[in-house]
Structure 1
Amino acid sequence: MKYGFIFTGSDPTLAVELAVLAEQSGWDGFFVWEGIWAVDPWSTLAAAAVVTERIRLGTMLTPVPRRRPWELAGQTMTVDRLSGGRVILSAGLGVPEDVEARFWIFETDPGRRVRAEQLDESLELMQELWQGEPFEHSGAHFRAARTEEMLPPPIIQQPRIPTWVVGVWPRLRSMRRVVRYDGWIPNYAPPGATGVAGPEAQQVHYTPEVAAEAIAWLHAERSAAGLADRPFDVVQEGTTTGTDAAADAALVRPWAEAGATWWLDSNWQVPADEVADYARARVAAGPPSPTR
């Protein structure tokens, strides 16, 4: 199990400070959120990259269909090179307009089906873009004409920047997208439900037992696809205290036993004016590892 901290605030200077503190305090990863009309996460992570040496850096998460894939490829490549190959890309469809209108103030939600198409095509296109070599692409949503000029440098990590993808269990079309990449960010649709469970319902219904079933399915599908020998992560997000080591370890342990490989600590309920103090204290306390 590796341990990451998600900074839920918006101050980029504080985020860079926390990334350094996280590395000093034994965390394995530091993540920031990505919004629409918000602090740019990749600029923040670029700054964090040059003042850290070990910790992995990423977003939680990037709404890939809302981005131009060539711009996202350039940003992630830049941070990958600045960090010496420590970037993770967390990719999802983005929140629907009927769930959070704030994220759709500049455009209209084309719907889940179109966003899913854009996610698939963007991720495929970025595989080429990250290599910094001539290629061409003609798809339903994007095109790329071949060029031999002004090519960017390639990413350091190969064959790609590790890409964690949101997948809704047990919706197989969604989960088969996850199979092709490098990690699973779980969402859960309980049997009989009309949609994905919200955050509170997820905490009730998405249990380590459900996770173990989904993880077994993922590993079987990856084996059938010839991907069993490639690294694959399973993410679990939650909130630990940083003050009660036994309770924190007890919270994380069932997820590790189910097959999760990353615990991401976050608390999205902390008021904005308290985020700085909370984040400094929680990061300094270190990860909820049973070996600490």
Structure 2
Amino acid sequence: MRHGFIFTGTDPELAVELAPLAEASGWDAFFVWEGIWATDPWAVLAACAMVTERIRLGTMLTPVPRRRPWELAGQTMTVDRLSNGRVILSAGLGVAEEVEDRFWIFEDDPGRRKRAELLDEGLEFMEQLWQGEPFTYEGAHFHAKRTETMLPPRIVQQPRIPTWVVGVWPRMKSMRRVARYDGWIPNYAPPDADGVDPDEQQRTYTPEIAAEAIAWIRDERVRLGLGDRPFDVVQEGTTGGVDPRADAARVRPWAEAGATWWLESDWKVPAERVAEYARDRLRAGPPRVD
């Protein structure tokens, strides 16, 4: 299992200070969050790339349907090249307006179905944009005319920047999307639930359910001819960083279920304490399972 740290603050200078601390303290990745009217995460990650050498860098997460694919492709390519191939793209539908209206102050939510269409098309489109070669594209929402001039550099990582996708278990349309890409960011909707409630998910999503979903993903990837390619499963959570045994006990069931990444986060830390918390938690090191 590898270990990432999610910076939940908003100060770009602090993020750039923390990334090398994460690397020096044994973490494997450093993530920042992406908002709509917020600090630019890809500018921050570009700066982080210049002060680190090993750790992977990414967002947690990018609402791809809210983005123009050519702009996101350029941003991610830039950081991928600056970091010599250390970028991860975490992709999701974005928060619905009824869940968090703060993210919809500039436009109206077109609804889950359209956001899902935009996610599928955006991810497909970016795979061609990342190659920096002439191509044409014609989709329901986006198109590209062929051009031979002013082409950007291609990404370092091939055939694409590793893309982790949010998927809701056991909703098969959502999970089939996940299986085509490079990692699963789990959401869980109990069979009798009307929607995906974050509090209910935390209460009901267990390592046993994760293992069931991971087994399904593995079978689906074999069916798609992708069974021999790397695939990551993410589990986000909070450990104290004080008692290594307690931290390992918290993480171990998820590792045994098949999770390949533990992402450390605590979104409840007040803004005025984020810097102190992040420095202390990073220095304590990741919650390793023997």
Distance 2:229 2:148 in 1: 32
> Which residue is equivalent to 2:174?
174
- Cα deviation per residue 1:241-279 (whole Å; 9 max; x = unaligned)? 000110000000000000000000000000000000000
Q: Cα RMSD between the aligned structures? A: 0.6
1:39-58 map, 5 Å: 39-58=39-58
- Check the 8 A contact 1:190/1:197 in 2, yes or no: no
Structure 1: runs of 5+ lacking an equivalent: none
Q: Percent identity?
A: 77
* Separation in 1, partners of 2:200, 2:185: 16
Distance 2:129 2:224 in 1: 24
Q: Note the C-alpha offset of 1:157.
A: 0.2
Residue-by-residue CA offset, 1:81-133 (whole Å, 9 max, x unaligned): 00000000000000001111110001010000000000000000000000000
Whichever residue aligns with residue 55 of structure 2, its letter is I
Q: Which residue of 1 aligns with 2:188?
A: 188
Q: Which residue of 1 aligns with 2:221?
A: 222
Note the C-alpha offset of 1:204. Answer: 1.3
| SS of corresponding position for 2:279 | helix
How many Å apart are 1:196 and its aligned residue?
A: 1.0
**Counterpart in the other structure of 1:267:** 266
Distance 1:55 1:89 in 2: 14
Letter of the 2:251 partner, please give it. Answer: V
Contact 1:88 1:164 in 2 (8 A): yes
**CA-to-partner distance for each residue in 1:179-225, whole Å, 9 max, x for gaps?**
10000000000011111131x22221100000000000000000011
Partner of 2:256: 257
2:153 aligned counterpart, secondary structure: coil
CA distance in 1, matches of 2:207, 2:117: 30
Q: How far has the Cα of 1:65 moved from its partner?
A: 0.3
Q: Quote the offset at 1:290 in angstroms.
A: 3.0
Gaps of 5+ in 2: none
Report the counterpart of residue 119 of structure 1 in structure 2: 119
- Superposition map of 1:85-164 within 5 A: 85-164=85-164
Partner residue of 1:30?
30
Q: Is the 8 A contact 1:249 1:290 kept in 2?
A: yes
Give the 4+ runs in structure 1 shifted more than 2 A.
none
SS in 2 for 1:97: coil
Matched position secondary structure for 1:247? helix
Contact 1:118–1:141 (CA under 8 A) maintained in structure 2: yes
Task: Please give the alpha-carbon distance, in whole angstroms, between the structure 2 residues aligned to 1:197 and 1:101.
Answer: 16
Determine helix, strand or coil for the equivalent of 1:243. coil
Count of aligned pairs: 290
Cα distance in 2, alignment partners of residues 85 and 173 from structure 1: 30
